[in-house]
Amino acid sequence: MKFLLALPLLALLGFATTTQAQTAPATAQAATTGTATAQFKTSAVCDMCKARIEKSLAYEKGVQSAVLDVPTKVLTVTYKADKTTPAALRTAVQKSGYDADELTADTRAYNRLPDCCKKTSNAHTDAAGH
């Protein structure tokens, strides 16, 4: 009698452990395959720019890390491919006031930058925006 009662319980336990074993590797795989890296050429000029861009990218959805190399102005972003896209990341760079590849910085964000962080070109200084 006792044996018969224990049997379904054991079966239940066995079921629970096998489902757990099946889901664990699946999520681990998604975490590794879902990560992508993108690089953008920015208009950063100094360490302040670096900190500003890295900080604003860190708040972007899906971003795992953002590192800017000041001498080359290249921003390297590691992100979750199912959460964001390179286009969205470029937009985030624009919104922080910097160019991203061929895309020009958001004018209002650019105008808020300290003078030392602005590009030397006059493309953005058309006085109207402030």
Q: Is 48 in the site for Cu ion (CB under 5 A)?
A: yes
Q: Is 68 in the site for Cu ion (CB under 5 A)?
A: no
Q: Which is nearer to Cu ion, 48 or 81 (by Cβ)?
A: 48
What's the CA gap between 69 and 84, in Å, rounded? 22
Which of these ranges, 46-54, 85-93, 102-110, 118-126, lies near Cu ion under the rule CB under 5 A?
A: 46-54
Which of these ranges, 1-9, 20-28, 31-39, 45-53, lies near Cu ion under the rule CB under 5 A?
A: 45-53
What's the CA gap between 69 and 102, in Å, rounded? 18
Number of residues that bind Cu ion (CB under 5 A): 5
Residues 6+ apart with CB under 8 A from 40: 74, 75, 77, 86, 89, 90, 93, 100, 101
Which of these ranges, 6-14, 48-56, 66-74, 84-92, lies near Cu ion under the rule CB under 5 A?
A: 48-56
The residues pairing with 120 across neighbouring beta strands, listed in sequence order, are none
Q: Binding residues for Cu ion, per CB under 5 A?
A: 45-46, 48-49, 117
